[in-house]
Amino acid sequence: MDSNKRPENMERINTPQLAEAFIAEQVEAIKKQVGDKKVLLALSGGVDSSVVAALLIKAIGRQLVCVHVNHGLLRKGEPEQVVEVFRNQMNANLVYVDAVDRFLDKLAGVEEPETKRKIIGAEFIRVFEEEARKQDGIEFLAQGTIYPDILESDGVKAHHNVGGLPEDLQFELVEPVKLLYKDEVRVVGKALGLPDSMVYRQPFPGPGLGVRCTGAITRDRLEAVREADAIVREEIGKMESLPWQYFVAVPDLKSTGIKDGKRYMGWAAVIRAINTVDAVTAESVEIPFDMLCRMRDRIIAEVPGINRVSGVNRVVYDITSKPPATIEWE
């Protein structure tokens, strides 16, 4: 039986009772797989890796070593938030790794999306291998892989935690939620007692802002993505009913603009907001026009580089469903 294929008779986890049964099953499976060895977990702070962390803590306690890698592709303020929540509030055994220059140097000049994803995935594993050598008894790597990651890695796009793994991987993988859809992961997270702010946190791709800074990543355009994204998350976050996911992409293309009566070329910022149940299909969200205008004005006024030739001079809203588009731009 293919361990990466969800059984056809697997019941959808949509109640606390089904979640508790899944948790009990996975705790036993983790204990059996890991034994007395240590596990290294890539902890991004998103719901997938957080649920995996909670499952592992329940199963093996202090045998878990959490590693948070700042690869320079995280959202504004995110590394600081992860350290505050997990190390200071949850008392997790957390290792913080500043690898910004390492990742961005590897990605310099790389345009092809699949190559970018594989570089990010491979470099992640290299970082974990280095951290593992500093620990005694690390033999396993835990990941927050979920079922849509596996489905999309078969002919759609490689995910950093599926198709991006290097062939010489030195760890045995622990992936307790790999057969679950995103909505099921949230139900399990609630049953594990995780706070709502973590359980319902917006999904964020493993390659981070790297898939929203399309084409070859440059530091100035990456910073524009980060700042514009913070504005959009703040403004859309005021809606009474929040979309499932909302963010900004800044494609590697130039748009004609006017400043001081003169023509210049800048970037276009693309706002995207979608609703979905399982991330396999998705529909765009109807955002109030006054909110769209407010985001437009703030992005134009506040994003660094806005008054330079390399700044953003156009803001658009992406209304494409999935399919034919994917949720992310790369």
| Spatial distance between the Cα atoms of 161 and 328, rounded to a whole number of angstroms | 16
pLDDT in tens, 109-148: 999 999 999 999 889 888 877 887 888 888 898 989 999 8
Residue 177 has pLDDT above 60, yes or no: yes
Mean pLDDT of 35-57: 90
- Let me know: does 202 contact 50? Beta carbons within 8 Å: no
**For residue 89, what are the contacts with CB-CB under 8 A and spacing of at least 6?**
none
Q: Which residue has the tokens 């997790």?
A: 92
Residue 309 has pLDDT above 80, yes or no: no
| Spatial distance between the Cα atoms of 257 and 6, rounded to a whole number of angstroms | 50
| Most confident of the following: 51-55, 135-139, 166-170, 253-257 | 51-55
Predicted confidence at residue 30, as pLDDT, reads 97
The SS3 call for residue 292 is helix
- Let me know: does 287 contact 236? Beta carbons within 8 Å: yes
**Averaged pLDDT score across all residues of the chain:** 88
Q: Which residue has the higher pLDDT, 280 or 109?
A: 109
Which band of pLDDT confidence, cut at 50, 70 and 90, is reported for residue 164? very low
CATH code of the region 16-199 = 3.40.50.620
- Let me know: does 322 contact 310? Beta carbons within 8 Å: no
Q: Where are the domains of the chain?
A: 16-199, 212-318
CATH code of the region 212-318 = 3.30.300.10
Kindly write down the DSSP assignment for every residue of 289-309, as one continuous string.
Answer: HHHHHHHHHHHHHHSTTTTST
pLDDT in tens, 231-277: 999 999 999 999 999 999 999 988 898 878 888 888 999 999 999 98
Nearest-CA neighbor of 187 among 2, 17, 5, 7? Answer: 17
Burial of 231 (0-12, 13-18, 19+ CB in 10 A): buried
Q: Which residue has the higher pLDDT, 101 or 280?
A: 101
Predicted confidence at residue 196, as pLDDT, reads 84
